[in-house]
Structure 1
Amino acid sequence: MLNPLTSDFVTHLAEMLPSDTIRTASPAYLEEPRGRYHGQGTHVALPRTVEDVSSIVAACNDARIGVVPFGGGTGLVGGQVAIDTPPPLILSLERMNAIREVYPYENVLIAEAGAILANVQAAAEEVDRLFPLSLASEGSCRIGGNLATNAGGLNVLRYGNTRDLCLGLEVVLPSGQIWNGLTRLRKDNTGFDLRNLMIGSEGALGVITAATLKLFPRPAERGAAVMVVPDPTAALKLLNLAQSIAAGEVSAFELIHRTGLEFLSEKLPEVRLPFDDAPKWMVLVDLGTSAGRTPDALLETLFEEGLAAGLVMDGLIAHSNAQREQLWAVRERIPEANKAIGSIVSHDVSLPLGSIADFITEGRKRLAAIGDMRINCFGHLGDGNLHFNAFSAKGKSRDAYDDKRSAIQKCVHDLVTEMGGSISAEHGIGRLKAADLAHYGDAGKLAAMRAIKDALDPNCIMNPGAVLA
């Protein structure tokens, strides 16, 4: 049983730590972007060193007081706010934001967990390297949170999830013990892989305080195009064609439905759309090529061969970086337009690539049986990650669907599970999907997860209520 954070314990922490480490929690630490949860907690700890984090966590463990790690606060599943537990201590890593070391000839960078993702990208660029993780929130999200949730983003097709971009970690365990795992090794088979255990654990097994990250050569040239396709099946065939023509150089392949373009026109008219008449389906293809390989020529070949095969109906190739950024603005600002419209339920799911077209067709059919609604389906087609979001019918209030919200979510998650997919592709479980994980998760996996949690965090102080309900 956890104990609530008390004024006496706050005083104790303040006395044992450097001045100004403990503060009253402002509303920013108690909210999440969608406004679905309002967190508990009266105070936030803002450590400057891993030793301070260790002292804080050890004290909370001894007192059986919950600890909620807080990164940039951009998570969309409520992992950063406590709701149904005794008031915890919020632990923000924002002061631990240094780029500790950069080894350009090893393609390695060591960053503290509070480093903002855009600053990590900039530090890599300063030594002519690329850190490829790219998210809409990269100007405010922090690398520790990216690792804790195994964030995906725009370049997973080529470079992988955040898990694939990490060589080592520094972690404070629930007991307060520090695991010094900041290795720069590419091969290390000395026992259990604690790195991959901690990545994606959402703060439920420990606090990530620093990470060794992989860097990559910067592409010599970048190129992008949007191409109108008849349907998602054609989009998948075009993806395979793109990977054949530009082997290893396709950075992203995004699927966009007309509904997303209509939302942009309605709520963000300053976003320049590529076509006067919004197509039903289009894809955004992004290439990063090596020296001597011209992305425009590759995209022209893709368009011509796709057109000949009946996979492409129209297209637009960016012939400058400014045009490329305009095309990407369309994709990147769809979530902003979604928020302005206001979804009934949002879904972040993944499916086997071969099942995506059937899922979209069947999903629309099943949701239509529940009620009249608009579906904005878009996402990272190259890695099977779809955002399948339900909105009220035009002219209807979102509140009119309150009694259908649970049925809509269950309908989509049931179908995803039937088709061998995942109910959480890149946003994690947090608190929003903890009950869904318990319902849809494999029994063996859940038993192993609980055993690991019990072994590492027997007092259950780490992010209580997240991941494992």
Structure 2
Amino acid sequence: MSDTLAARLVEAVGAANVLVDAADTAPFLTDWRGRYRGAAQCVVRPGNAGEVAAVVRACIEAGVAIVPQGGNTSLCGAATPDETGRAVVVSLGRMNRILAVDRQNNTISVEAGCTLAAVQDAARAVDRLFPLALASEGTCQIGGNLSTNAGGVQVLRYGNTRELTLGLQVVLPSGELWDGLRGLRKDNTGYDLKHLFIGAEGTLGIITAAVLKLYPLPKTQTTCWLNIASPAVAVDLLNQAKSTFDAQLTAFELVSEASLALVLQHIPGATRPAAASPWYVLAEFSDADPAAVEGWLGEQMAAGAVADGVIAASEAQAKKLWALRENISEAQKIEGVSIKHDIAVPVSRIPDFLSTADAELAAAFPGIRVVAFGHVGDGNLHYNLSKPGAQDNAVFLASQAEVNRIVHDTVHALNGSISAEHGIGQLKREEILRYKSATEIALMQTIRQALDPRGLMNPGKLPGPG
């Protein structure tokens, strides 16, 4: 790092917040899965939007690339620098203030470094709900949630992060600060610029703050763990539940026995809630009459759609049921490396995707283990593949390109997406070129070139420069 750049960064954020020692920078240079490891000139930790702007100006004038980073929970390497060591990582963790809560407007204004859990807690303190819910909510940050348009378990009712956002504050690649922190639900004054930055993975600027929607806090929640025979049954059950309960159905998750088995094996305290079954549904009903949910479930059991089930009798029991779902990724990480996919298809085509992909992969890779789970309510599945034996798995991992082709071609044939909520990052940067039209890619690159003509904002992520 040049003396001039070092001096400007120290002037902007203070010497204590410019990390250069290897031990200090190491946690910021590896992604959560351990798949990507990079290097950087330094890690800078600004404390407010003005400091972010000063850091960006210093880096741009020095011709140095910038990698924005939140909680470093990216599953696609979107927040990890490359191995050249030329970039500066800008970590937003110090920017963790709740700026305002407007209970009557049902909005909360927060800095980008707030953890998702902190935003949820601040909303709950005024009897409100911020409905974005992820397994990583204790460590992921709002800026990262916005940059990947995070989904989670309640998209069925409340939508993705994009639908939960009213306003943004962003430092542009020029170092200018765009302040769009408006808590308006109607503002028809031209382009809705915030949508450029949501889902852009830090390639168009650094999100520094946001105005987010709040909702009434549910007075009651009923959580059910249901044994079912197949994904087709799950889709039918979903539509029956929506017809009966409408917006009171707030989550509807699909879990395979293979997924549950990993949790039971690797997560201390995990216990099987009911008899074994090929598939399970974890459903949540908010502000629904518990007796009505119980009656509906009884009807489904009588009709044979549900073979067995458990209704949580307490909040503690509901949390245990949710822990079975939320710890699948952690259990997989403990089990070992797998080839992971985050796909979306129309809800009606979920059974078609699973039957087709399972069959083609089994034929190509005998003995393959499929760990499938996800948000059946919005068509998003996490579809992860490995071999049970460590030695066999090492060989299998070398076939990732062939595996991806089978899975992603199947998704594309069903008019789906190869990335539902994790983003593109480094992982799918080349893969996306096969499935997006040339026109779509060109439009994305045109926008990126207009805002970041030097290609210094998170290069090497998404289709674009670097």
SS at match of 2:398: helix
Go from structure 1 to structure 2 and tell me whether the alpha carbon gap of 1:42 and 1:85 turns closer, same or farther (over 3 Å shift): closer
Q: Distance in 2 between matches of 1:442 and 1:81?
A: 27
- Report which stretch shifted further, 392-401 or 251-260: 392-401
Q: Distance in 1 between matches of 2:142 and 2:400?
A: 33
Query: Of residues 430, 436, 453 in structure 2, which corresponds to 1:458?
Result: 453
Find the counterpart in structure 1 of residue 10 from structure 2.
14
Query: Of residues 400, 403, 411 in structure 2, which corresponds to 1:405?
Result: 400
Contact 1:343/1:390, CA 8 A, preserved across alignment = no
Matched, 1:148 2:147: yes
TM-score by length of 1: 0.95
Contact 1:73/1:80, CA 8 A, preserved across alignment = yes
SS at match of 2:386: strand
Q: Which runs of 4+ in 1 moved over 6 A?
A: none
Matched pairs, number: 460
Contact 1:48/1:95, CA 8 A, preserved across alignment = yes
Q: Kindly provide the CA deviation profile for residues 358-404 of structure 1, in whole angstroms up to 9, marking residues without a partner as x.
A: 11011111101221211011100000000111021357542121332
- Letter of the 1:429 counterpart: I
Contact 1:262/1:278, CA 8 A, preserved across alignment = no
Go from structure 1 to structure 2 and tell me whether the alpha carbon gap of 1:369 and 1:148 turns closer, same or farther (over 3 Å shift): same
Q: Kindly provide the CA deviation profile for residues 40-64 of structure 1, in whole angstroms up to 9, marking residues without a partner as x.
A: 2031111112111111112222222
- Report which stretch shifted further, 71-80 or 441-450: 441-450
Go from structure 1 to structure 2 and tell me whether the alpha carbon gap of 1:330 and 1:31 turns closer, same or farther (over 3 Å shift): same
Query: Of residues 333, 344, 354 in structure 2, which corresponds to 1:360?
Result: 354
Residues 244-393 of structure 1 aligned to structure 2 (within 5 Å): 244-275=243-274, 277-289=275-287, 293-294=288-289, 296-371=290-365, 372-393=367-388
Matched, 1:422 2:420: no
- Letter of the 1:282 counterpart: Y
TM-score by length of 2: 0.96
Go from structure 1 to structure 2 and tell me whether the alpha carbon gap of 1:6 and 1:418 turns closer, same or farther (over 3 Å shift): farther
- Tell me, which stretches of 5 or more residues in structure 1 are unaligned? none
- Report the CA distance between 1:15 and its aligned residue: 3.5
- Tell me, which stretches of 5 or more residues in structure 2 are unaligned? none
Q: Distance in 2 between matches of 1:257 and 1:17?
A: 48
Residues 120-135 of structure 1 aligned to structure 2 (within 5 Å): 120-135=119-134
- Report the CA distance between 1:18 and its aligned residue: 3.9
Find the counterpart in structure 1 of residue 19 from structure 2.
23
- Report the CA distance between 1:269 and its aligned residue: 5.0
Q: Kindly provide the CA deviation profile for residues 277-300 of structure 1, in whole angstroms up to 9, marking residues without a partner as x.
A: 4210110111111xxx42x22321
- Report the CA distance between 1:237 and its aligned residue: 0.6
SS at match of 1:336: helix
Q: CA RMSD in A?
A: 1.5
Q: Distance in 1 between matches of 2:43 and 2:140?
A: 18
- Report the CA distance between 1:308 and its aligned residue: 3.6
Q: Distance in 2 between matches of 1:459 and 1:437?
A: 23
Q: Kindly provide the CA deviation profile for residues 152-171 of structure 1, in whole angstroms up to 9, marking residues without a partner as x.
A: 11111111111111100000
Find the counterpart in structure 2 of residue 72 from structure 1.
71
Matched, 1:42 2:38: no
Q: Distance in 2 between matches of 1:389 and 1:159?
A: 26
- Report the CA distance between 1:84 and its aligned residue: 5.4
